[in-house]
Amino acid sequence: MDYENNTNVAPATSSLILEERHDSELFRVYALILDGITDHLLLPGKKLTESELCRQMVCSRNTVRGALSLLAHDKIVDLQPNRGAFVHVPDLKEMKDVFNTRIEMESMILSLLIDMPDLEMRLQPLYAMIEQEGAASESGDRVGWNRLSNAFHVELARLLGNNVLFEIMNTLCARSSLIVAVSDPLRKEKRNIDSNSHHEHREILDLLLAGKRNRVTKVIRRHLGACMERLEQKLEM
């Protein structure tokens, strides 16, 4: 697998991490593995062999071990004694915990955003992102669509300027992508995407601009709740 060959213009999970963490060899390797997992190139349960990662990423074994340790802290990788590292396999309880946490946190985020000054200007990049998401959905670009769908939620948190909240949301969305990989693995080939997420994302932005606090909270709860329900049905099959 060529971890460096990524021509997709949609923002990778690692690109959303705060920039002060970017300038190191450890981060480079961490980011490549993280993006391979959240893009569903490395599927849940796959063994991550240190020697193979070193060869693919042209780095030392210590760097790979450090990256895997960070990913284990983020619940993206499991480190098993005497067995090695594996891509984490979320279960049904974890899925519910992740999405219920997102529902509460994103409801709070939207409630805070609605009172921000210059909100219309701040939301313009997200409207552009929604256009990209719709195009990815229509063209069957599942990796691009998945990236943009997650990035929408993370970028909403970024607008508040709270770095702790922003990093938590990025981790939660990465874990959400891993949950999706368990129930419906994305493939690199094009296929139809049955999703109205970009329409629902546009509705969320429109309601924010209209100052509809209660309504936008109901929409985000419905949006994430429906996603959780679909995943629950697939995980129980």
57 SS3 class: helix
Nearest partner of 51 among 35, 63, 36, 37, judged by Cα: 63
Q: What is the pLDDT of residue 6?
A: 42
Q: What is the pLDDT of residue 97?
A: 97
Rounded Cα distance between 213 and 10, Å, is 29
Rounded Cα distance between 193 and 186, Å, is 10
Terminal-residue alpha carbon distance, the chain:
30
Residue with tokens 């922003």: 166
Q: What is the pLDDT of residue 234?
A: 80
**How many CA atoms, within 13 angstroms, populate the side-chain half-sphere of residue 86?**
12
Rounded Cα distance between 97 and 104, Å, is 11
pTM (two decimals): 0.89
Could you tell me how far CA 41 lies from the centroid of its own chain?
14
Q: What is the pLDDT of residue 5?
A: 41
Rounded Cα distance between 108 and 103, Å, is 9
Q: Are 176 and 228 in contact (CB under 8 A)?
A: no
Q: Which domains are assigned to the chain?
A: 13-87 (1.10.10.10), 92-236 (1.20.120.530)
Amino acid identity of residue 77, one-letter, is V
Q: Which residues pair with 80 in a beta bridge?
A: 84
pLDDT in tens, the chain (237 residues): 444 444 357 899 999 987 766 678 999 999 999 999 999 999 999 999 999 999 999 999 999 999 999 999 999 999 999 999 999 999 999 999 999 999 999 999 999 999 999 999 999 999 999 999 999 988 888 889 999 999 999 999 999 999 999 999 999 999 999 998 887 655 544 455 556 889 999 999 999 999 999 999 999 999 999 999 988 888 776
Q: What is the pLDDT of residue 101?
A: 98
CA distances from 229 to 134, 183, 217 (A): 22, 12, 18
Q: What is the pLDDT of residue 235?
A: 77
Q: What is the pLDDT of residue 185?
A: 57
